[in-house]
Amino acid sequence: MLPGIGFTELMVLAIAALIIVGPKDLPMMMRRLGQFVGKGRAMAREFQAAFDDIARQSELQELRKEIEDLKLKNSLKEATDDLSSYEKDVNSAVMAQTAAPAAEPAEPEPAPQPETEPKGDPA
């Protein structure tokens, strides 16, 4: 019911309406009052629906933005992961190449032979 209006207040209003309007026109006035209240409720429902629709659209826009951000972050993560895997591959290949020559036994270089000069006269 209406806040602050009890049964006794409604009875006083009904008796006043009956006295002021009269019993002949009271049903027509109550019908118009009902139509007026119905229109007011319809307008309130329409306003509430429009407000809910705006809120829903705002939420959808926020969700779309969040999804786009997640897609961007996901693509950045994928790119970072790809670069990380390529870096690991390159590092392992470089380490394998530098480790391979070190793993082979190094052959000692032959010591240089001293040159001997002929002991005779060259002329």
39-93: per-residue pLDDT in tens?
999 999 999 999 899 988 888 888 888 888 887 777 778 878 888 888 888 888 8
| 28 within a domain of the structure (yes/no) | yes
| 102 within a domain of the structure (yes/no) | no
| 32 within a domain of the structure (yes/no) | yes
Element (H, E) at 75: helix 26-103
Find all residues with CB under 8 Å of 21, minimum gap 6, and list them. Answer: 29
CA distances from 20 to 13, 15, 23, 27 (A): 10, 9, 9, 13
| 104 within a domain of the structure (yes/no) | no
Amino acid at 116: T
23 secondary structure, DSSP code: T
| 20 within a domain of the structure (yes/no) | yes
pLDDT higher than 80, residue 3: no
Q: The domain containing residue 38 runs over which residues?
A: 8-96
- Confirm if 17 and 29 have CB atoms less than 8 A apart: yes
| 119 within a domain of the structure (yes/no) | no
13 secondary structure, DSSP code: H
Res 101: pLDDT: 63
**In this structure, what token pair is assigned to residue 1?**
């019911």
Amino acid at 39: K
| 33 within a domain of the structure (yes/no) | yes
> What's the gap between Cα 53 and its chain centre?
20
Domain count, the chain: 1
Task: Between 75 and 116, name the one with better pLDDT.
Answer: 75
pLDDT in tens, 85-106: 888 888 888 888 887 665 555 5
| 3 within a domain of the structure (yes/no) | no
Average pLDDT over residues 15-19: 88
pLDDT higher than 90, residue 4: no
